[in-house]
Chain A
Amino acid sequence: MGKLTKSHMIETAVWLLIAVIFFGFTFEFNQPIEIYIFGATGWPRVVIGLMLIVTFGNFYHHLKYGSTTQAGRVGIADDDEVGSYDNLAAVIKVLAVLGTPFLFALSLKPVGFYFATPFFIALIIVIFGERRWKWILCITALIYGLLLGLFMVVLNAPLPQGNTSPFYDYSALILRLNNDLQQLW
C-alpha cells in the first residue's frame, strides 16, 4: 500500500464522491442549446472529468510519497502544523467554533441580527478561552455598539430583523431608536 494512510483514502473517496454526485446531477439539465453544440453540460462534465484525472494523480502521489510536499512548490500555508487532538476539551472547543457560526446564521431569519448578535459575540469570546466576565461583557457591548454605529447609524445598511415575536419587536425598537437619532440631525 506504499505510504497510503487512512486519511489519504478518505481524501480520495471524498473527491471521487464529489465527482460522481455532480456528474449524476448533470443529467438533470442535460438539454441541448440551439446555438451551442456542447450544451449546458459540456463545461461541467469537462471539469468533473479533469477532477477525476487529477484525483488519481493525487492518489498516486500519496501512494508514492505519502503527505510530503512536492519539491519546488511555493506559497504553501503552514496550516498542517496541528497539535494533538488527544484531549477531549480540544475536540469540543474546535467543534464549538465550527458549529456556533452556523447556529448564528440559522438564527438570523427567525431571531434577526440585532437580537442574536450580542449572544454570538459573547459565546465566541468564551469559546476562544476568555473567562473574565467583565471583559466578556465590556467587549461584547463595545463590538455590538461599533457594528450598530457603523452599519445601522452611519451606513443605514439593511440587516436581518427576524420574523418572530418578540425578536422582531426588539429589532423594530432598535430601528425606531436609530430613526429618532437620525431626526436629531
Chain B
Amino acid sequence: MIENFIAGSSALFGDPFTLAIFFFGVIGGMLFGAIPGVSMLTLAAILLPFTSDLSPAQGVMLFAVIYCTGTYGGAITAILFNIPGAPENAPTAFDGYPMTKQGKSGKAVGAAVLCSAIGGVASALVMMAATQPLATWAIRNIGPPEIFALVFFGLAVASSVGGRTIWKGWLSVLLGLLIATIGQDPVGGINRFNFGFADLAAGIAFVPAILGFFAVSEIFVQAEKRATGTFNAPKVGMSFPTLFELWAQKIAVLRSILVGFFCGILPGIGATLAAFMGYGEAVRWSKDKESFGKGNIEGVISSETANNAATGAAMIPLLALGLPGGALTAMMVAVFQMHDLEPGPLVFYNSPDLIWVVFAAMFYANLSILFVGILETKTILYLLKIPFQFLAPLILLLASIGAYIGRGLVLDVMVMFLAGIIGFLLRRSGYSIPGIVLGIILGKIGEQNFAQGMQMVHYDIVAYLSRPICSLLILAGVLTLGVGVYQALRAPAKKA
C-alpha cells in the first residue's frame, strides 16, 4: 500500500498540470461550497464537459478533490447563514447557526475545519487500506434489502430531529418522499405525477429543490424578519475553539468517523445520511440532549466529521462496484465513461495508476482542508459584515444559476423559487427542511431498493427480515420511531 501511495503521490506532484488541477479542485470546491447559493455540484456540473480534455486520472481526481473540499466548504454557509452548501451540511446548521448568533462563529467554523479534515483523512486512510476487502464484504452482505433498511433507519433518525414535534418531523420526511415520486417510477419507467408538464417526466431535479428549500427560504425568512422588525444581525466571532474544547469531543469524533464510513460504503447512501446519523447518534449518546440545536459544538463536530468520513468511503462502492453514492460520485461515473472506462473491480487491475493518484489526491485534499481552510476561515467570516440587502440578490442569483445549469431548464429555476416559498411557510410552522430534503434524496433510492429487495425474496417478508443486517436496521428504525411517538403521546410539551 505504501509503495502505491508513494507512486500516486509522485504522479500527483510530479506533473505540474496535474498539480494545478489538484489545487484548482481544492480551491474551487471550498469556494463553491462556501458561496451561499451555489455548491460543489454547480462547479462539478459546469466542469463535467471539460473533463473530456483531461486524462482519466486527472478528471476523476479533480472530481474526487472537489467532493472532499466541497463537502467541507458547505459547512461555512450552514454555520454563517443557515444555508447549507449541500444537503450533507444540513445538520451542521442545527447548532452552527445558533453558535453564529451567539457570536461564536469562529469556534463553529474552526471545529468544522478541524473535524472535516480529521474525518476525511481517516476515511482516506481506511479507503486506501481496505477498499478491496471492504468491497468484497459489501458485495456479500449488502444488498437491496439492507440498503432499504438503512434508508428507513436514516429517515427515522431525520424525522426525530428538526421538526417541532415527531409528527412535523415525519410530515416533512413524507413530503420529501412524495416529491421524489414525481417523474418515472424506478421499476417500470411509468410516468407519475407530471401534472401535464413534459419536463416533469424526468422528475424534480434535487439541486433546484435543495437550493429552494435551503437558500431561497432562508432569504425569505430573513426578509420577513427585517420587514416585521425581528431581525438580529449575527455577530462576527473570530475566536477558534481551544485544543481542550476539541479534545473533549474525541469520542464524538471517533463515533462520527465510524458512522460516516459505514454510511459511505453503502451504495447510494453517501454523505448526507452520514451527517444526519452522526448528528442523531451525538444526540442519542449525549447527557445534555436539550443543548442540541441551541449551539452545542458537538452537533457541528459530529455532523462535519461524519460527512467527510463518508467521502472516502463513498469511493469504495464507486471504484469497486461501479455504484455511485450520490450526485457527485454519479458525475465521476460520467467522467469514467467519457474516457471509455467503466468503474468496477477491473479498474484496480487495468488502471492502478489512476486509482492511486485519486487516493493520494483525496488524502492531500483532506489535509489541505486544515491549512487552506483555516486561512479561508479568517477571511470568510467577514462575509457576515456585508449588509444583507447586498448579499441577498447575490445569493438569489447564484442559486438561480446553480438551479438552471444542471439541466438548462427555466422550469428548474421556478421549481427552486416555489420550493423556497413552501420552505418559508413550513419553517414558520415548525417543520424540518432537512427532513424534506433527505426525503427527496432518499425517496427514489429507497423505492428502488425496496422493489429489488422484494423481488429478490419473492415477496416473502419473513425472508426479508431474516437477513441479520436488514432486520437490525429495521428494528433500530422502528425503535427510533416508537420512542418518538411515545414521547409525543406521553411526554409533556414545552412552550415553543
A binds B: yes
Which residues of A are interface residues toward B (Cβ below 8 A)? Answer: 7, 11, 15, 18, 22, 25-26, 29, 31, 33-40, 43-44, 47-48, 50-51, 54-55, 57-58, 61, 65, 67-85, 87, 89-90, 93-94, 97-98, 101-102, 104-106, 108-109, 113, 117, 120-121, 124-125, 127-130, 139, 143, 146-147, 151, 155, 157-160
- B379 CB within 8 Å of chain A: no
Note all chain A residues with C-beta closer than 8 A to B487.
70-72
Note all chain A residues with C-beta closer than 8 A to B283.
74
Q: A25-B195, A47-B178, A58-B167 are in contact. List 7 more A-B contacts (CB 8 A).
A: A33-B190, A43-B181, A54-B174, A128-B223, A128-B226, A157-B405, A160-B410
Evaluate contact between B417 and A76: CB separation under 8 angstroms: no
Chain A nearest CB from B89 CB (Å) reads: 13
> Complex Cα distance A101/B432, Å?
23
Evaluate contact between B171 and A54: CB separation under 8 angstroms: yes
Note all chain A residues with C-beta closer than 8 A to B491.
70-72
Evaluate contact between A82 and B225: CB separation under 8 angstroms: yes
The chain A residue with its CB closest to the CB of B292 is A74
Evaluate contact between B488 and A61: CB separation under 8 angstroms: yes
- B20 CB within 8 Å of chain A: no
- B251 CB within 8 Å of chain A: no
> Complex Cα distance A31/B192, Å?
11
Pairs across A and B, CB under 8 Å, 15 listed? A25-B195, A29-B192, A36-B451, A43-B447, A57-B166, A57-B167, A58-B167, A70-B491, A74-B292, A76-B163, A79-B428, A83-B229, A94-B220, A121-B393, A128-B388
Q: Which listed residue, A25, A29, A74, touches B94 by the CB 8 Å rule? A: A74
> Complex Cα distance A81/B454, Å?
46
Residues of chain B in range 407-463 having any CB-CB distance to chain A below 8 Å: 408, 410, 413-414, 416-417, 420-421, 424, 427-430, 432-434, 447, 450-451, 454-455, 459
Given contacts A29-B192, A80-B428, contact A151 B401 (CB under 8 A): yes
Evaluate contact between A70 and B223: CB separation under 8 angstroms: no
The chain A residue with its CB closest to the CB of B216 is A101
Note all chain B residues with C-beta closer than 8 A to A102.
414, 417
> Complex Cα distance A143/B395, Å?
10
Note all chain B residues with C-beta closer than 8 A to A128.
223, 226, 388-389, 392
Interface string of B100-116 (1 = CB under 8 A from A): 00000000000000000
Q: Which listed residue, B174, B188, B220, B230, touches A51 by the CB 8 Å rule? A: B174
Evaluate contact between A73 and B164: CB separation under 8 angstroms: yes
> Complex Cα distance A157/B398, Å?
12
Q: Which listed residue, A18, A58, A125, A147, touches B401 by the CB 8 Å rule? A: A147
Note all chain B residues with C-beta closer than 8 A to A18.
175, 178
Note all chain A residues with C-beta closer than 8 A to B193.
22, 25, 44
> Complex Cα distance A90/B454, Å?
54
The chain B residue with its CB closest to the CB of A68 is B493
Chain B nearest CB from A109 CB (Å) reads: 5
- B390 CB within 8 Å of chain A: yes
The chain B residue with its CB closest to the CB of A93 is B227
Chain A nearest CB from B378 CB (Å) reads: 22
Evaluate contact between A73 and B195: CB separation under 8 angstroms: no
Q: Which listed residue, B46, B94, B454, touches A157 by the CB 8 Å rule? A: B46
> Complex Cα distance A65/B165, Å?
11
Note all chain A residues with C-beta closer than 8 A to B450.
43
Chain A nearest CB from B64 CB (Å) reads: 20
Given contacts A31-B190, A48-B178, contact A83 B161 (CB under 8 A): no
Leading 10 A-B pairs by shortest Cβ distance: A83-B228, A128-B389, A75-B94, A33-B188, A58-B167, A68-B493, A74-B292, A97-B223, A124-B393, A65-B493
Note all chain A residues with C-beta closer than 8 A to B220.
94, 97-98
Interface string of B155-176 (1 = CB under 8 A from A): 0000001111111111100110
Note all chain B residues with C-beta closer than 8 A to A104.
396, 400
Note all chain B residues with C-beta closer than 8 A to A43.
181, 185, 447, 450-451
- B202 CB within 8 Å of chain A: no
Note all chain A residues with C-beta closer than 8 A to B70.
none
Evaluate contact between A40 and B187: CB separation under 8 angstroms: yes
Evaluate contact between A67 and B223: CB separation under 8 angstroms: no
Note all chain B residues with C-beta closer than 8 A to A57.
166-167, 170, 485, 488
Evaluate contact between B404 and A159: CB separation under 8 angstroms: yes
Chain A nearest CB from B100 CB (Å) reads: 12
> Complex Cα distance A155/B42, Å?
11
Chain B nearest CB from A163 CB (Å) reads: 11
Note all chain B residues with C-beta closer than 8 A to A25.
193, 195
Evaluate contact between A120 and B397: CB separation under 8 angstroms: yes
> Complex Cα distance A68/B164, Å?
8
- B293 CB within 8 Å of chain A: yes
> Complex Cα distance A25/B156, Å?
27
Chain B nearest CB from A126 CB (Å) reads: 9
Evaluate contact between A83 and B230: CB separation under 8 angstroms: yes
Evaluate contact between A47 and B177: CB separation under 8 angstroms: yes
The chain B residue with its CB closest to the CB of A14 is B425
Note all chain A residues with C-beta closer than 8 A to B216.
101
> Complex Cα distance A50/B95, Å?
30
Chain A nearest CB from B182 CB (Å) reads: 9
> Complex Cα distance A3/B416, Å?
35
- B287 CB within 8 Å of chain A: no
Note all chain B residues with C-beta closer than 8 A to A155.
46
Evaluate contact between A54 and B187: CB separation under 8 angstroms: no
- B289 CB within 8 Å of chain A: yes
Note all chain A residues with C-beta closer than 8 A to B230.
81-83
- B261 CB within 8 Å of chain A: no
